[in-house]
Amino acid sequence: MIRPALATAWLCSTVFAADPDPTEKYARAVKAEDEVSRKLAERVAKPGDSEREKWFKRLDEVFTNKVPPTAADWFDLVTAGRPEWTRDSSRYFAEFHERICYRLDLKKDTVVTRDLFAAYADRFLGPDSPPWRVL
């Protein structure tokens, strides 16, 4: 990541190097830097997806327009109706399997059953779902 002060120094040095009247170019450079800073601040301040939203988006990507509204039914989609879910059973949901194991303090290779998924869903996929953060 480029630090704003370094970017400004570089930008000013390139602007002023060849132009005897740099005021207009300098003003444009400052305006461009302000715009970049504003966009960065907006991105940092914007709340990310909740855990529930992240799940729903992935399910909707894989099972287009066939996602039930309740998290209790999502287990059947992810496992294709099987009673257990292993990390390696679906490449689309391996990250989500790891997340369940992490959130429930289980080993990464734990087999997730319907009951474990229900416990996870009750805590993390409700209306007050926490923000999705990299674990």
79-125 pLDDT, tens digit per residue, is 888 999 988 888 889 999 999 999 999 998 899 999 999 999 999 99
Arithmetic mean of pLDDT over the chain: 81
State percent of the chain over pLDDT 70.
77
H or E, element range at 13: helix 4-18
Q: Lowest-confidence range among 40-44, 106-110, 126-130?
A: 40-44
pLDDT over 90 (residue 71): no
96's torsion region: left (phi>0), alpha (psi -120 to 50) or beta? alpha
Q: Give the position of tokens 């190097």.
A: 17
